[in-house]
């Protein structure tokens, strides 16, 4: 047989798959569906790297496997096309972000195809496609109509150089000052009128419904912590200044008798009003300093800072006057931005009280010289004396409610989603403001509202987006003015898995149509979603929020969008560090496909280790993958018989069973190991049955689709493509093993192997082992001290 010409063969099959649309999802309601989804990429100028190919190959393997098992598979692909990176590149080069983005998409698509990924390209979409973002705008309209999208004055991270608001994860802090992660530009806190989505309205459902999904536990925990639900009480504290009062939230209302001071966030609306004349200058200075700090740093600072306002609050439990302080460790958006401080029973309050010489009063019995945060019997606590924590909480809440100065309450760390961006390359808001500032939504037939073509997309300099300069687009005759903000990049990615289901070669099926509902009921939820952990509390949380909203509208019938989620591990550079341009350790799939072929790349990445584990890149490992495929190719030079080879039947059916089970749990590395065992057995025999040969090709096909299709057609002369063949089944009768090979060691070193019947008695095995010539050689003249026996596997003779 000719040599394996992978370049020619891979191009041949990729062309065949594309031209015949062999991965097109069928209109078949009688077969079970399998929806396999990748976290779609942002199409950057640098193209894909081998880390991307790992996850994309894993999802392709599962899609091919499930298709052969008889499922109607939906495996689409698309592009997260809007966003700041394209806009910044356009500003730096003078290119149009639209043309730049779609040029990159063309390159990414080429790489995906050359990696052998079987995609239904009729469903391809990009979030910047007008027929797609028309429905992103429509969903925003529905959010507004249901009072879940509102305009609010909020404090944001604003970068003047980039001309836009940045999320916390887009910022780095150096020496207490904030800078943009992209470009390292200064960032300041700034109050701006922004669109905000009320994700907090869904906080409890987002928490509770995590129990419905098969996700990694650590990822679920990240979402739980991000939502951060805590239960306690809301309590009103009056002050000694005029009629001012403020509410505090506490998870430990039982410790209220030990509250010796209160702390407000510097951003609290009463922070300045409560500042006495003597303290006002210091308070103002402290507020300004705090504005330059990022929230995460305010929480992380080891040394707490604060300033006394000069005013006092009244502890509602005992009517004592307690000082009111400002401190940066209290955040304005958590709870009410005000806390009661109980230094005897809170580590943070204890540290602050010690630093500033504030009173520390114990109300739970404790023998240690530090804050005690555990359960215990209350004292110095009036009506709570003698009670434990839980009983004390219940009693004080009942008392507060009776006096109408407090009530039971749950609080969340989760913030509402600031949804406005001051940039050009994003979805425009489908709203118009009339001359009185009233909001008018565009009609459905006016969507999509597309971006105007601008020669200059630089920030306006007024805090508005570049759209403020698009006068002809901005002003709508007899109606008013459009919104100059655009939506964040995460808008389009919050429902793209739905977009794939509704996309066809003609366009998008309307999301609010009966046809859409029928299709969504058929394919949702996504059966398997593969991607990185970096989206745990961004995209995944927002997509769940939007899905639940669409569920409430009756547009989808499942509570959750993604049933099973798998995070593939990062592929590191050969230096064991993250692949990056700066380290010059990145590997392009183009290079590997050129030198080794796509099948070798796919096989190597799946054989590196468990899919979820971090793994360093190795050229030696890649060479090994190529050698194995060459060995498979040469295996088909052996005699191929019409009848199955009886001596291969056991290992053949063991391989079917093992590979099937491993594919189901995404254990691709162990599946490959089993296939290697099978190939070794064929090499020993130098012949194989035709049915066994085809069955092996079916097992290997999801990982190495090009080679296996070629061998199936060219050598075995089958005309049906493997991708539509029926997955092989194992026969239980061949899995019953009567004999095994047992390892014999002397002092832990291999000295012989003997074949025995399964479950042979130990004394019989010992007698057989001691008769082995090589065992006798290493035991002669020595005393047997101990014999260790692992049934059906190993016998170790310890001598001295």
Binding-site residues for ATP sit at: 581
Radius of gyration of the chain (CA): 33
Query: Using CA atoms, how far apart are residues 434 and 436, in angstroms rounded to an integer?
Result: 5
Sheet holding 784-790, edge to edge: 749-757, 739-746, 794-799, 784-790
**DSSP result, 536-590:** TTTHHHHHHHHHHHHHHTTS---S-SEEEEEEPPPEEPTTSSB--TTTT----HH
Per the annotation, where are the binding residues? 581
Please report, to the nearest 10 degrees, the dihedral formed by the alpha carbons of residues 121, 123, 128, 130 taken in order: 130
Instruction: Using alpha carbons, select from 115, 108, 105 the residue that is nearest to residue 54.
Output: 115
Contact at 8 Å (CB) between 341 and 313? no
Per the listing, tokens 């290992």 go with 651
Query: Using CA atoms, how far apart are residues 518 and 284, in angstroms rounded to an integer?
Result: 60
Between helices 539-552 and 130-145, what is the axis angle to 10°? Answer: 70
Contact at 8 Å (CB) between 307 and 283? yes
Q: How many CB atoms lie within 10 A of CB 409?
A: 19
Query: Using CA atoms, how far apart are residues 583 and 410, in angstroms rounded to an integer?
Result: 47
Q: Which residues pair with 339 in a beta bridge?
A: 263
Cβ contacts of 586 within 8 Å, gap of 6 or more: 49, 573, 579, 580
Query: Using CA atoms, how far apart are residues 195 and 193, in angstroms rounded to an integer?
Result: 7
Query: Using CA atoms, how far apart are residues 48 and 135, in angstroms rounded to an integer?
Result: 28
Q: What is the 3-state secondary structure (H, E, C) of 265-296?
A: CCCCCCCCCCCCCCCHHHHHHHHHHHHCCCHH
Cis peptide before 448 (omega within 30 of 0): yes
Cβ contacts of 311 within 8 Å, gap of 6 or more: 239, 240, 241, 274, 275, 276, 323, 324
Between helices 6-20 and 705-714, what is the axis angle to 10°? Answer: 90
Structure tokens at 14: 């990729």
Cβ contacts of 89 within 8 Å, gap of 6 or more: 45, 95, 97, 100
Query: Using CA atoms, how far apart are residues 458 and 472, in angstroms rounded to an integer?
Result: 17
Q: Which residues pair with 615 in a beta bridge?
A: 571
- The phi-psi region of residue 741 (left if phi > 0; otherwise alpha if psi is between -120 and 50; otherwise beta) is beta
Within a 13 Å sphere around the CA of 747, how many CA atoms are in the beta-carbon half? Answer: 9
Contact at 8 Å (CB) between 536 and 572? no
Helices (H), 443-495: 471-474, 489-492
Q: How far is CA 338 from CA 251, 256, 333, in A?
A: 13, 14, 10
Structure tokens at 594: 């050129």
Q: Which residues pair with 406 in a beta bridge?
A: 235
Query: Using CA atoms, how far apart are residues 314 and 312, in angstroms rounded to an integer?
Result: 7
Contact at 8 Å (CB) between 515 and 451? no
Query: Using CA atoms, how far apart are residues 659 and 666, in angstroms rounded to an integer?
Result: 10
Structure tokens at 46: 């640098």
Query: Using CA atoms, how far apart are residues 685 and 692, in angstroms rounded to an integer?
Result: 13
Strand ranges for 434-488 from DSSP E:
439-441, 475-476, 480-482
Query: Using CA atoms, how far apart are residues 26 and 637, in angstroms rounded to an integer?
Result: 37
């Amino acid at each position: 047989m000719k040599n394996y010409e992978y370049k020619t063969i891979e191009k041949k099959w990729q062309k065949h798959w594309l031209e015949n649309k062999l991965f097109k999802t069928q209109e078949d309601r009688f077969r079970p569906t399998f929806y396999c989804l990748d976290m779609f990429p942002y199409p950057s100028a640098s193209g894909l790297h081998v880390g991307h190919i790992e996850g994309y190959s894993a999802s392709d393997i599962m899609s091919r496997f499930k298709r052969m098992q008889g499922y109607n598979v939906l495996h689409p692909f698309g592009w997260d096309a809007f966003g700041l990176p394209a806009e910044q590149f356009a500003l730096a080069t003078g290119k149009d972000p639209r043309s730049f983005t779609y040029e990159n998409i063309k390159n990414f698509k080429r790489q995906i195809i050359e990696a052998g990924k079987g995609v239904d390209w009729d469903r391809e979409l990009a979030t910047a496609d007008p027929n797609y973002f028309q429905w992103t705008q429509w969903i925003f309209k529905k959010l507004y109509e249901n009072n879940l999208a509102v305009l609010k004055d909020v404090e944001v991270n604003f970068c003047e150089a980039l001309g836009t608001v940045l999320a916390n994860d887009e910022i780095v802090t150096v020496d207490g000052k904030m800078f943009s992660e992209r470009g390292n530009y200064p960032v300041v806190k700034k109050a701006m009128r922004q669109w905000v989505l009320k994700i907090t309205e869904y906080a409890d459902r987002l928490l509770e419904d995590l129990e419905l999904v098969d996700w990694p536990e650590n990822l679920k925990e990240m979402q739980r912590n991000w939502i951060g639900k805590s239960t306690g009480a809301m309590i009103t504290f009056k002050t000694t200044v005029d009629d001012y009062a403020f509410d505090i939230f506490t998870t430990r209302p039982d410790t209220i008798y030990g509250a010796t001071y209160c702390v407000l966030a510097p951003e609290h609306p009463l922070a300045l009003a409560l500042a006495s004349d003597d303290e006002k200058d210091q308070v103002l200075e402290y507020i300004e300093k705090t504005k330059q700090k990022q929230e995460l740093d305010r929480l992380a600072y080891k040394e707490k800072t604060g300033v006394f306002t000069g005013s006092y609050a009244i502890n509602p439990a005992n009517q004592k006057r307690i000082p009111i302080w400002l401190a940066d460790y209290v955040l304005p958006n958590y709870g009410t931005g005000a806390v009661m401080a109980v230094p005897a029973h809170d580590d943070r309050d204890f540290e602050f009280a010690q630093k500033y010489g504030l009173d520390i009063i114990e109300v739970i019995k404790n023998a240690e010289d530090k804050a005690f945060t555990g359960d215990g019997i209350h004292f110095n606590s009036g009506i709570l004396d003698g009670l434990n924590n839980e009983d004390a909480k219940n009693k004080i809440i009942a008392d507060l409610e009776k006096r109408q100065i407090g009530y039971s309450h749950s609080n969340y760390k989760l913030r509402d989603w600031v949804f406005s961006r001051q940039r050009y390359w994003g979805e425009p808001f489908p709203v118009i403001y009339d001359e009185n500032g009233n909001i008018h939504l565009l009609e459905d037939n006016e969507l999509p509202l597309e971006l105007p073509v601008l020669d200059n997309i630089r920030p306006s300099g007024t805090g508005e987006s570049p759209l403020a300069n698009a006068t002809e687009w901005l002003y709508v005759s007899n109606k008013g003015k459009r919104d100059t903000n655009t939506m964040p990049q995460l808008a389009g990615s919050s429902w793209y898995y739905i977009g794939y289901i509704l996309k066809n070669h003609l366009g998008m099926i309307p999301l609010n149509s009966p046809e859409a509902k029928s299709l969504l009921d058929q394919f949702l939820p996504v059966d398997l979603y593969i991607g990185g952990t970096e989206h745990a509390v961004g995209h995944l949380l927002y997509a769940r929020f939007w899905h639940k909203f669409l569920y409430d509208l009756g547009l989808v019938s499942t509570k959750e969008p993604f049933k099973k989620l798998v995070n593939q591990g990062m592929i590191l550079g050969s230096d064991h560090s993250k692949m990056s341009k700066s380290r010059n350790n990145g590997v392009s799939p183009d290079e590997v496909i050129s030198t080794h072929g796509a099948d070798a790349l796919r096989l190597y990445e799946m054989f590196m280790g468990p899919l979820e584990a971090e793994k360093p890149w190795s050229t030696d490992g890649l060479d090994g993958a190529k050698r194995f495929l060459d060995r498979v190719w040469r295996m088909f030079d052996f005699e191929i018989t019409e009848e199955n080879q009886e001596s291969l039947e056991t290992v053949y059916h063991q391989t079917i069973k093992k590979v099937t089970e491993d594919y189901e749990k995404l254990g691709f590395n162990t599946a490959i190991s089993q296939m290697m065992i099978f190939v070794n057995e064929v090499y020993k025999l130098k012949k194989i049955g035709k049915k066994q040969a085809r069955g092996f090709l079916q097992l290997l096909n999801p990982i190495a689709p090009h080679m296996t299709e070629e061998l199936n057609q060219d050598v075995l002369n089958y005309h049906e493509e493997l991708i539509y063949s029926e997955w092989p089944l194992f026969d239980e009768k061949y899995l019953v093993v009567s004999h095994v090979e047992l390892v014999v060691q002397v002092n832990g070193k291999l000295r012989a192997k003997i074949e025995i019947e399964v479950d042979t008695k130990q004394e019989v095995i010992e007698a057989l082992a001691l008769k082995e010539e090589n065992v006798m050689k290493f035991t002669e003249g020595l005393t047997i001290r101990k014999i260790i026996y692992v049934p059906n596997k190993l016998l170790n003779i310890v001598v001295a």
